[in-house]
Amino acid sequence: MSIKLGDTAPNFQAESSLGHIDFYNYLGDSWGILFSHPADYTPVCTTELGFTSKLKSEFESRGTKVIALSVDGVEDHQNWIKDINETQNTEVQFPIIADKDRKVSELYDFIHPNASTTLTVRSLLIIDPDKKVRLIITYPASTGRNFNEIIRVLDSLQLVDSHKIATPVNWKNGDDVIVPPTVSTEEARKIFPKGVTEIKSYLRYTPQPNT
């Protein structure tokens, strides 16, 4: 199954490091981040899960739940978590899905045969409270993800949903944002009382509305 932006993220049930999981029930009304990693007891994944754990308060402040996936089993997950906690100086509290039969991996297209026929690639999805897929990003197994970038995109998506704006290149929370072409300059000056700077008729900036 090939999942695209705007698709409804499919539900699933699976065992995890924290017990049985129904994905939709786990997410509830929250935003969600589902990310796969190639295998347990691997160095890059160890650093990724450790760093994700350290971002717990950042995700909570954004109403977001994280959940990881590997094709290894529950016992391996639970033992590996002990290593992650020890080596990364953290306490992993989010679930890691056990996907030994690869059902969830195949459902979410996490196995790319040209990269590996047995292990999942380093894929990540951001899913909104309506269960729509809002971001898909895939890294090779050899390259660790940039979770600061994931936070940046999450901030952008949540801001875009709250206001009629877009975010420019390298935007980060607090920077000026862009007035999209669908909003006229006249309308924009009413919507954004902090002001609108017009560079071109199609390129207009305004201070971030919620700061």
Does residue 45 have an active-site annotation?
yes
One-letter identity of residue 75: E
What number of residues does the chain have? 211
- Which helix or strand (DSSP H or E) is residue 68 part of? strand 64-70
> Rounded to the nearest 5 degrees, what angle is found at the Cα of 78, between the Cα atoms of 9 and 136?
25
DSSP state of 164: S
Return the percent helix, strand and coil in the chain, to nearest 5.
30, 25, 45
Residue 32: beta bridge partners?
A: 65, 127
Radius of gyration in angstroms for the set of CA atoms belonging to the chain, rounded to a whole number: 19
- State the catalytic residue, choosing from 45, 67, 125, 126: 45
Cα separation, 125 vs 127, in Å, equals 6
Rounded distance between C-alpha atoms, residue 12 and residue 92, angstroms: 22
d(CA 168, CA 125) in angstroms, rounded, equals 21
Active site residues: 45
